[in-house]
Amino acid sequence: MSTQARERPSEAGEDAPQPAADVRLEGVRKSFGDVVAVDGVDLEIDQGEFFSLLGPSGSGKTTLLRIIAGFERPDDGTVWLADVDVTNKAPFDRDVNTVFQDYALFPHMSISENVEYGLKVKGVGKQERRSRAEEALQMVRLPGYGKRKPSQLSGGQRQRVALARAIVNRPRVLLLDEPLGALDLKLREEMQIELKRIQQEVGITFVYVTHDQEEALTMSDRLAVFNNGLIEQIAAPADVYERPATEFVAGFVGVSNVLEREGQRFVVRPEKIRILEQGEEPYAGAHVESGQVRDVVYVGMVTRYIVDLEAGGQLTVVRQNLETSSQDVLEARGAQVRLEWRPEQTYEIGERGQMEEDE
């Protein structure tokens, strides 16, 4: 078992003077009647960071984003943007822009007019509006689309226009609430890469809400995992995956492979477990357990085995389909197997409340 306790991920330049956080939340709370949507959140998001709020539906992500944007007032707590207390400021007095999932473009306006709209409201001159809009469209890889109407674009292209419409204002912080939720999987994956590129190019701080763990892992510099209005962990993607702070995080980000042995609870990720061949010797130092294959799921590139362990508990094991066919794989159902993994690839987890003070 890993002896490493949950420590704060080491970040580059820890000794260097830190620039002011772009977004800082302290003790933020918000209820709607009996429903506690945000239950005391502390958070710091650095300048230029791609930061995700990840959690299941109803965990308070949108409410927190709306509090940062100024569309909701917190019942308690403070919101700072670049060290200015904006808790009681109106949305238009905050240097932020929001991109929603239903990014309703104005249907009667051209793409250029849609993108220029915010600048026009601010009284920016026509010449500058044009050039900034064209620049923003270039940024989202839609140069020359300015004259079209929204109905003449695909869903993915419209989503890019919505993004251009926000970044054209050059806000300090861009808030995005499940902006890719309406797109099909393939397009969503493409847009994830695009969004990340755009964010790096413009250098704007992104606060990105999603319930999709893969999306959060793909794009974020760091992420906060939400559960019931509370943050369970804040860390870089690899740390959240490999060193989940709580059982909830272990199950929400990845497959919940949690076992209890000798009074210790730990997570072991499915890809770290090997199914031993018949008669194969485990390597020295491996942790070995016997069990029975309860279920087999063939998913093309890999197969997932669900194994009931003799010592109690259940594990999911993922194996690449190198030489096995779907037929071989299905025959494994009900088989007795031995599993092995390296003790150092397990990670001990605690209950909530045992997280580090500084997180």
Residues lying near Mg ion in the complex (CB under 5 A): 62
Q: What angle do CA 31, 34, 37 make, to 5 degrees?
A: 35
Distance CA 179, CA 108 (A): 22
- How is residue 305 written in tokens? 């085995």
Q: Segment near ligand ADP (CB under 6 A), from 13-21, 30-38, 118-126, 287-295?
A: 30-38
One residue of 11, 18, 19, 35 binding ligand ADP per CB under 6 A: 35
- Kindly state whether residue 37 participates in binding ligand ADP, applying the rule CB under 6 A: yes
Q: Segment near ligand ADP (CB under 6 A), from 9-17, 50-58, 110-118, 345-353?
A: 50-58
The secondary element (H helix, E strand) that includes residue 206 is strand 205-210
Residue 283 contacts which entry, ligand ADP, Mg ion, none (Cβ below 5-8 A, type-dependent): none
Distance CA 348, CA 196 (A): 32
Q: Segment near ligand ADP (CB under 6 A), from 56-64, 76-84, 270-278, 323-331?
A: 56-64
- Partnered with residue 41 across adjacent β-strands are 28
* Helix boundaries (H) for 206-316: 213-219, 237-242, 247-252
Question: What does each C-alpha distance from 24 to 18, 37, 334 come to in angstroms?
Answer: 14, 19, 53
Decide the pairing of beta strands 205-210 and 264-268.
unpaired
Work out how close the CB of 310 gets to Mg ion at its nearest, in angstroms, rounded to a whole number.
42
Residue 146 contacts which entry, Mg ion, ligand ADP, none (Cβ below 5-8 A, type-dependent): none
Work out how close the CB of 187 gets to Mg ion at its nearest, in angstroms, rounded to a whole number.
20
Of the candidates 212, 127, 216, 205, the one whose C-alpha atom is nearest the C-alpha of residue 166 is: 205
Task: Kindly report the backbone phi and psi dihedral angles of residue 227, in degrees, each rounded to the nearest multiple of 5, phi listed first.
Answer: -150, 120
CB 158 within 8 A of CB 105: yes
Among residues 140 and 174, whose Cβ is nearest to ligand ADP? 174
Side chain identity at residue 240, one-letter code: V
Among residues 115 and 240, whose Cβ is nearest to ligand ADP? 240
How many positions of this chain bind ligand ADP (CB under 6 A)?
A: 11
Among residues 42 and 212, whose Cβ is nearest to Mg ion? 212
- Kindly state whether residue 156 participates in binding ligand ADP, applying the rule CB under 6 A: no
One residue of 6, 61, 274, 338 binding ligand ADP per CB under 6 A: 61
Show the site string, 73-112: x = touches ligand ADP by CB under 6 A, - = not: ----------------------------------------
- Kindly state whether residue 59 participates in binding ligand ADP, applying the rule CB under 6 A: yes
Residue 151 contacts which entry, Mg ion, ligand ADP, none (Cβ below 5-8 A, type-dependent): none
Among residues 229 and 254, whose Cβ is nearest to ligand ADP? 229
Q: What is the number of the residue whose Cβ is closest to Mg ion?
A: 62
Task: Kindly report the backbone phi and psi dihedral angles of residue 102, in degrees, each rounded to the nearest multiple of 5, phi listed first.
Answer: -90, 85
Distance CA 163, CA 31 (A): 30
Task: Outline where DSSP puts E strands in 64-200.
Answer: 76-81, 84-85, 96-99, 173-177
Q: Which residues bind ligand ADP (CB under 6 A)?
A: 32, 35, 37, 55, 57-63
